[in-house]
Amino acid sequence: TPISPRIGHALVPMPNGNLLLFGGDAASPSAGDWVWDGVRWLPFTTGVPRRDGAAVAAFGPGRLLVYGGTDPGGNLTDTWRSDDGSTWTNVPSALVPGVLAEMSMVGVPGEDRAVLLGRSGGTNWQTWFYDVANGWAAGPQFVAPSAVLVADSVRRDVQVFLGSGPGLSVQRLAGSQWLPLATLPAGPAIGEIAFDARRGRSVLLQPFGNRATDEFDGRALVSSQVGSGAPVPAEHTAMAY
Residue 235, judged by CB atoms within 10 A of its CB (0-12, 13-18, 19+), counts as middle
Give the mean model confidence (pLDDT) for residues 202-225: 80
Sequence-ordered list of residues with C-beta below 8 angstroms from that of 190, at least 6 positions apart, any chain: 146, 148, 161, 163, 168, 204, 205, 206, 207, 234
Structure confidence by residue, pLDDT tens digits, 97-142:
999 999 999 999 999 999 999 999 999 999 999 999 999 999 999 9
Give the mean model confidence (pLDDT) for residues 87-105: 95
Residue 15, judged by CB atoms within 10 A of its CB (0-12, 13-18, 19+), counts as middle
Share of the chain above pLDDT 70, in %: 90
Least confident range from 4-18, 51-65, 175-189: namely 175-189
CB 55 within 8 A of CB 12: no
Sign of CA dihedral 229, 218, 109, 111: negative
Picking from 91, 166, 192, the residue whose alpha carbon sits closest to that of residue 135 is: 91
The 10 Å CB-count burial string (b at 16+, else e) for 164-201 is: eeeebbbbbbeeeebeebbebebbebbbbbbbeeeeeb
Q: State residue 186's pLDDT score.
A: 58
Pairing of strands 177-184, 168-174: antiparallel
Sequence-ordered list of residues with C-beta below 8 angstroms from that of 51, at least 6 positions apart, any chain: 8, 23, 26, 68, 69, 70, 71, 76
